[in-house]
A and B are shown apart, each in its own frame.
Chain A
Amino acid sequence: MMHTVSDELLNSFVDDELGPEEKNELFSSIEQDDALKMRVCELRGLKEMVRHTYQQHESTHVQSLPKSRDWSRYVQTLAATLFLLMLGGLFGWNVSEKHDASKYHKVLSLFQIIQNNDIRQEPGKIIVQVSDANPLRLKTALDETENLLKSYRQTKQKLKIEIIANGGGLDLLRSDVTRYRERISALQKEFPNLDVVGCNQSITELQKKGVVVKLLPNVRIASSALDEISRRLQQGWDYVRV
């Protein structure tokens, strides 16, 4: 019989982490010891309370990932994947991964890598995600997008850019909040290859909180930022998160 049973051992018991022998030994100890029985009971109760509490919390976002595709899209997907595998390093794919976690200014280098790349023969296709209301990030997204558009134009290269705003980043596109109404409008006029998109899930989220959401004119609405980014990735676009 066990004389002292550690909390770690009891946790392992309630989490079904023990082997048959240890379990049997503990069962017989519990049989003979009311205090031990109570400790097990408390742990099981806690576990159940935690589970019960968080089971009530489901995402309010209606989720959908791209489903079935026709043959041409399969081929596109495969081609895009191969293309990205070959050129991902050059265009900062890996850099994007590493820098997701870093400060916003690191994004500049990512833009520069894309911008300085002169190997690409195909039209550039870049989706820029803004999900943070930080004014510096909003400004950076616009500054760098504009630089990129101008740079490609100067070198007579084709480029498509899509800015997708979700979460706090939606502030960029909200007509009553944004400080960039005129600038975005001017950019859209000057560069028809710029698409500006808002995330419907983020809009719905705000509306549930009683916020009236009005977006700038000529802003397209996507069902969700995730869906939009997934779709673009499958089409071979590069992805930058600001």
Chain B
Amino acid sequence: MKILSLFCHADAFQERLKQIRPKLYRVAFSWSHNSALADDLVQEALIKALKSRNQLRDEAKTTGWLFSILANCWRDHFRQNRAMEDIDELEDFCCVDDADPERDHAQSQIATRVLEAVARLPVGQRQVLTLVDLEEFSYVEVAGILDIPVGTVMSRLCRARQSLKLHLKEFAPEQPARQIRRVI
């Protein structure tokens, strides 16, 4: 019976991966702004997950665990391609891709501007912002996924939103007139 349940778990695990895959892709894309790279990252993350699934002790934590793997793959990608000695540099690294083909897919002016604004964020801020806004992870969960303190999650999120606000000023709701000045 134990063996049978192991098999069932194996299938359930694969089914879970299948369900989470679009979410992983969405986040990977929001970090990389490159659909091919996002696919590669997700693929790599899923392969690693398949290889090390016996390390997952608590099935309830599968989603967070998968996003941690994805974050590691993204980090590894930078190590490979940017030759950064100190991985902490990643947190402050901006990778604005001027020739971003994904812009072509933007359905609206707002979407295009948001993509541009997010692309300008340092990677560390971008990761926190998208995990919170897209996947609605709690701050504690994000801290676990990215292996950083909760305080860092909060400060990065705060800086990210401040930058976005600056870049998206024209789309923000207009300030109500505080008072009407009478001109005599």
Residues of chain A at the chain B interface (Cβ within 8 Å): 7-8, 11-12, 15, 17, 34, 38, 41-43, 45-47, 49-61, 63-68, 74, 77-78, 81, 85, 93, 97, 100-103, 131, 166-167, 201-202, 205, 209, 224-226, 229-230, 233, 239, 241
Cβ contact within 8 Å between B50 and A230: yes
CB B88 to nearest CB in A, in angstroms, measures: 15
Summarize A's interface: helix, strand, loop or mixed: helix
Residues of A within 8 A of B101 (CB): 209
Instruction: State in angstroms the CA–CA spacing of A139 and B51 once bound together.
Output: 27
Cβ contact within 8 Å between A46 and B79: no
Can you list, as one digit per residue, whether each of B1-43 has a CB less than 8 Å from chain A (1) or not (0)? Answer: 0010011001100100110011001100110000110111011
Residue B157 at the chain A interface, CB threshold 8 Å: yes
Cβ contact within 8 Å between B154 and A226: no
Cβ contact within 8 Å between A7 and B158: yes
Instruction: State in angstroms the CA–CA spacing of A133 and B22 once bound together.
Output: 26
Can you list, as one digit per residue, whether each of B113-128 has a CB less than 8 Å from chain A (1) or not (0)? Answer: 0110010000000000
Q: What is the interface residue range for chain B against chain A?
A: 35 or more
Cβ contact within 8 Å between B118 and A63: no
Known contacts: A49-B114, A50-B114, A230-B50. The answer to whether A78 contacts B172 by CB under 8 A is no
Cβ contact within 8 Å between A102 and B132: no
Instruction: State in angstroms the CA–CA spacing of A230 and B48 once bound together.
Output: 10
Cβ contact within 8 Å between B18 and A54: no
Residues of B within 8 A of A93 (CB): 51
Cβ contact within 8 Å between B165 and A42: yes
Known contacts: A53-B114, A54-B26, A57-B105. The answer to whether A47 contacts B47 by CB under 8 A is no
Query: In chain B between 126 and 170, which residues have their CB closer than 8 angstroms to a CB of chain A?
Result: 129-130, 132-134, 138-139, 154-155, 157-158, 161-162, 164-165, 168
Known contacts: A8-B155, A68-B11. The answer to whether A239 contacts B47 by CB under 8 A is yes
Cβ contact within 8 Å between A56 and B47: no
CB B1 to nearest CB in A, in angstroms, measures: 14
CB B180 to nearest CB in A, in angstroms, measures: 15
Instruction: State in angstroms the CA–CA spacing of A155 and B35 once bound together.
Output: 44
Closest to B159 in A: A7
